[in-house]
Structure 1
Amino acid sequence: MKPLQALVVDDEPLARERLSRLLKEAGCTVAGELGDGVALLQWLKEPGRELAETDVIFLDIQMPGLSGMEVLAEAAGGPPVVFVTAYSSYAVQAFELAAVDYLLKPVFADRLAKCLQRLQDRLVRPLSPAELKTLLPPPVRFPIKAGDGEVYMDLDLVTHFELVDEHVWACRGQNRYLTRWISLAEVEQAFPDDGMLRIQRHLLLRPQTVKGIRPASVGRIKVLVAPAVELTVSRAMTPKAKECIRAGTS
């Protein structure tokens, strides 16, 4: 079977490199990498482009300038598009715009394989809501204390975890909820694939929730996770925090 020819469009170099590597490992040919939506529109408008043997475009949604959705809306008649993004909330809009498939970051090889099989089979119709539910991961939940019992909270609602006197609090901006964990290590072990960062000995940040960053003291940054809620990142963790936050906005 002929290898799929893929074009990768993402403004974050690390994300482009990761997806290109996974595609090559899956037997695809990466026809090129582009850094933003404007570059993609220019690529699509090049003379003779309609004859190019590009089978699919893997397109990030959140990019500076034109978003992936804006590009797709303008690029009728181009190759099939698979959206790639960190936010499942875009799924319905993506399929309304006739994307072939939708991959959540970080992309894993098994989910990518299903997408590539669809493309090989030429199942290029938009997925139905029922089919979409089978592809999106279920919400990750954990217990928080409520009187003598407990209720369950979606991890996606949490901006960070804070350790105070051997009690771990799940924080949603300014709101705090007492968990049954007694160390941040237990939280990290419970969610090994979430990409949490220990930005202070007592603070565990979910980088994908960061709304902004600004310099603090020399070598440090503050991250905004909710209105009027900033967390200070240690000097040692500042470089890694910047890298993860930027990757998470792609």
Structure 2
Amino acid sequence: MIKCIVVDDELIAHQILEKYILKCESLALIGHCRNAMEALAMLEAHEVDLIFLDIQMPLISGLTFLKNLNNPPQIIFTTAFQDYALQGFELNAVDYLLKPFSYERFLKAVGKAEKLLENRSAEKSDENYFIIESNSVAVKLLYKDILYIEALGDYMKIYTPEKFYLQHTTLKLLEEQLPNDKFIRVHKSYIVAIGKIKMIAKDELILSNDIHVPIGQSHKEKLNEVFRK
């Protein structure tokens, strides 16, 4: 599912794009923004894959907004002015929708964004693992396969749905090695995969496969913040 937002100062534009987005099964509308400042706040609060961005807006134009973004999401410009098309493509926009545009033209632009996001995901897939040495054997372990990690003295038990691997290291070193957008320390002896969390209770959380993991008091606030995002 592609998470998207609409950034436009015109109400009618929001209404049309929301209608189109809701009809498209591959899109999930995260929110509406009336200007660049609202959009910036939205990007800080949520993970966004795609922005439908107007160009002529009060105070900060869509072009200026995009130029000042670090690692921006995919951008589809939506504007009533054809004159900005070249500038838009020079900023690596996915597409340039000239208002008023049809649902069919909208889908064509979304299709381009889907392909680009798929290619980006494929490029990253080769980096979504790390190598551990378990029982004197080097093992390539995919991040997506890890449920949680438990510290047992000088050894770490890295659990997957099928089995666990013993790694002679420290939990702190593993925490530094794992990507912090995928894993979180929840206890002095546990790291869990964020995507595997199903529920947070008072003193424990429940992972996929109904696995219960304790929560340390000092980790509760950050865990709740990450889980809600």
TMscore range, shorter length = 0.5 to 0.7
* Separation in 2, partners of 1:145, 1:57: 51
* Separation in 1, partners of 2:175, 2:182: 9
* Equivalence for 2:215: 233
Task: Tell me if 1:162 matches 2:150.
Answer: yes
2:5 paired residue among 2, 5, 8: 8
- Report the alpha carbon displacement of residue 111 of structure 1 after superposing the two structures with TM: 4.7
Greater length-normalized contact order (CA 8 Å, ≥ 6 residues apart): 1
* Separation in 1, partners of 2:217, 2:190: 14
- Report the alpha carbon displacement of residue 55 of structure 1 after superposing the two structures with TM: 9.9
State, as a whole percentage, how many aligned pairs show the same letter: 12
Q: CA RMSD in A?
A: 3.9
* Equivalence for 1:118: 93
Asked whether the equivalents of residues 5 and 48 of structure 2 are also in contact (C-alpha less than 8 Å), the reply is no
Asked whether the equivalents of residues 174 and 226 of structure 1 are also in contact (C-alpha less than 8 Å), the reply is no
| Paired residue secondary structure (1:211) | strand
* Separation in 1, partners of 2:188, 2:160: 19
Residues 186-225 of structure 1: pairs in structure 2 closer than 5 A: 186-215=173-202, 221-225=203-207
Asked whether the equivalents of residues 198 and 204 of structure 1 are also in contact (C-alpha less than 8 Å), the reply is yes
- When residues 233 and 57 of structure 1 are mapped into structure 2, their CA distance, relative to the original with a 3 A threshold, is farther
CA-to-partner distance for each residue in 1:136-184, whole Å, 9 max, x for gaps? 132511123354321211101112221111122222257321235x112
* Equivalence for 1:135: 120
* Equivalence for 1:15: none
* Separation in 2, partners of 1:154, 1:56: 41
Task: Tell me if 1:53 matches 2:38.
Answer: no
Which residues of structure 1 form unaligned runs of 5+?
Answer: 1-6, 10-28, 33-48, 59-68, 75-80, 86-104, 216-220
Asked whether the equivalents of residues 94 and 112 of structure 2 are also in contact (C-alpha less than 8 Å), the reply is no
Asked whether the equivalents of residues 173 and 225 of structure 1 are also in contact (C-alpha less than 8 Å), the reply is no
- When residues 193 and 55 of structure 1 are mapped into structure 2, their CA distance, relative to the original with a 3 A threshold, is farther
Which of the two has greater helix per residue? 2
| Paired residue secondary structure (2:201) | strand
Report the count of equivalent residues.
163
